[in-house]
Structure 1
Amino acid sequence: MAINLQKGQRINLQKDNGSTLQNVCVGVNWGAIEKKGWLGGISKEAVDLDASCVLYDENKNPLDVIYFGQLASKDGAVRHSGDDLTGDVSGDDGLDNEVITLDFSRLNSNVNFVAFVLNSYKGQDFGTIPFASIRIYEGTPSRVSEVFATYNIAKGEGFSGHVSMVLGIFYKRNGEWKFNAVGEPTSDKKLQETVETVRHNYL
């Protein structure tokens, strides 16, 4: 399996030993914004990034949205670790602030697309966040087997000035799951807008 895909690359999830990928995680790690006070002190501004997952059928209709307000899909295949409202306030601890897990074996058969997106809840510009990275990997929240896509949105070209993005999309072709590493910011302000953007532009 290819490691560290570049934006726009596609892979199938067949592994070298003939088995297919079953468990995938999307982890997001970010930091609070440092602000200098008028007396020279430094304060921290909480940053609320929201990772979400959207399930679509073959006709591109959204079936389910897993986000901070609904932490599991109806079929139990997708689970969200919960809402982080602040980001790391004491520097980068190297840990994911939010993790979404996907178990392909439990996905309802009418799901044809699984999209992962990121939104800045308070509208804080990605370019103002001191560090923010996303990784999509095989494994569990406590065990990373193989990372196959990473994005650095705090330092990445093109993310400044945006508050939402499409991370990547798993899609089913001829009964097999494949992955498209999208990695593109969108002009959306809210999650519902991003759900529609994915539907019209990326599926």
Structure 2
Amino acid sequence: MAISLQKGQKISLTKDSGAALTKVIMGLGWDAKKTAGGGLMKGFFGGGGASESIDLDASCVMFNEQNKLVDTVWFKQLKSRDGSILHTGDNRTGDGDGDDEQIIVLLEKVPSDVKSLVFTVNSFTNQTFNAVENAYCRLVDGVNNTEIARYTLSSQGSHTAQIMAKVYRHNGEWKMHAIGENGNGRTIDSLLPQIVVHL
């Protein structure tokens, strides 16, 4: 049974059996908020309840023990230089059911000097989260494809980014922290100073 995370909550990524997870998938999903229909011209063109596409981008930022940036996995670099993290590709609309973007993490291959992996989402089209609904991030056991935890991003507002969650090492084991802090910036570069605060 997956855990429904609350903002600020932390969980261990050790299985019930005591074994450590080896491969996790961070899935991100969202929908463009339906706009109210109306107007004669909209009626002619099948309007009413339409939604515009929103290009949200999931990223994973790797930090070392000194909270210095090690690497970034995003739509311009779909694989970390060490090969431990893989982005499955850019979704520019949010259409369809299920995860819109996924980032796969091979925990055993993450270099020992990397302390934390921070997962974020940016509105590349610069629309605010007022235009987004049903946004979530979820962590899946990549070996048996079972959902471990889900964090629903309920906060709409004038922000254009979210610092969603952090997967980090603590006393030799991996943990997950649901951060859920609003941010601003079309790309991960402009969000970095806001991320460091939460390391």
TM range (shorter): 0.7 to 0.9
With over 3 angstroms needed to count, the CA separation of the structure-2 counterparts of 1:149 and 1:131, relative to structure 1, is closer
Paired with 1:165 and 1:44, the residues of 2 have a C-alpha distance of 21
Q: Which has the larger radius of gyration?
A: 2
Helix, strand or coil at the partner of 1:6: coil
Q: After superposition, what is the alpha-carbon deviation per residue over 1:116-148, rounded to whole angstroms, capped at 9, x for unaligned?
A: 0010001111121243332222226xx631231
**Runs of 4 or more consecutive aligned structure 1 residues displaced over 3 Å after TM superposition:** 32-38, 187-190
Q: After superposition, what is the alpha-carbon deviation per residue over 1:58-82, rounded to whole angstroms, capped at 9, x for unaligned?
A: 0001110000000000111110011
Structure 1 residues 49-88: aligned runs within 5 Å: 49-88=56-95
The TM-score with structure 1 as length reference comes to 0.85
What displacement does 1:15 show? 1.9
**Selected match of 2:192 from 192, 195, 201:** 195
Q: Which residue does 1:116 correspond to in 2?
A: 119
**Selected match of 1:96 from 84, 96, 99:** 99
The TM-score with structure 2 as length reference comes to 0.86
- Percentage of identical aligned residues: 35
What displacement does 1:23 show? 1.4
Helix, strand or coil at the partner of 1:105: helix
The Cα RMSD (Å) is 2.1
Matched, 1:132 2:145: no
Q: Which residue does 2:163 correspond to in 1?
A: 166
Quick check: 187-196 or 10-19, which moved more?
187-196
With over 3 angstroms needed to count, the CA separation of the structure-2 counterparts of 1:33 and 1:173, relative to structure 1, is closer
Q: After superposition, what is the alpha-carbon deviation per residue over 1:86-113, rounded to whole angstroms, capped at 9, x for unaligned?
A: 221xxxx322111111110111111111
Q: Which residue does 1:180 correspond to in 2?
A: 177
* Alignment coverage as a number of residue pairs: 192
What displacement does 1:34 show? 4.3
Paired with 2:30 and 2:11, the residues of 1 have a C-alpha distance of 27
Structure 2 residue runs of 5 or longer lacking an equivalent are: none
Give 1:100's aligned amino acid: I
Give 1:145's aligned amino acid: T
Paired with 2:9 and 2:2, the residues of 1 have a C-alpha distance of 10
Q: Which residue does 1:144 correspond to in 2?
A: 145
Q: After superposition, what is the alpha-carbon deviation per residue over 1:141-193, rounded to whole angstroms, capped at 9, x for unaligned?
A: xx631231221x3xx1x332111011111111222222111122124453112
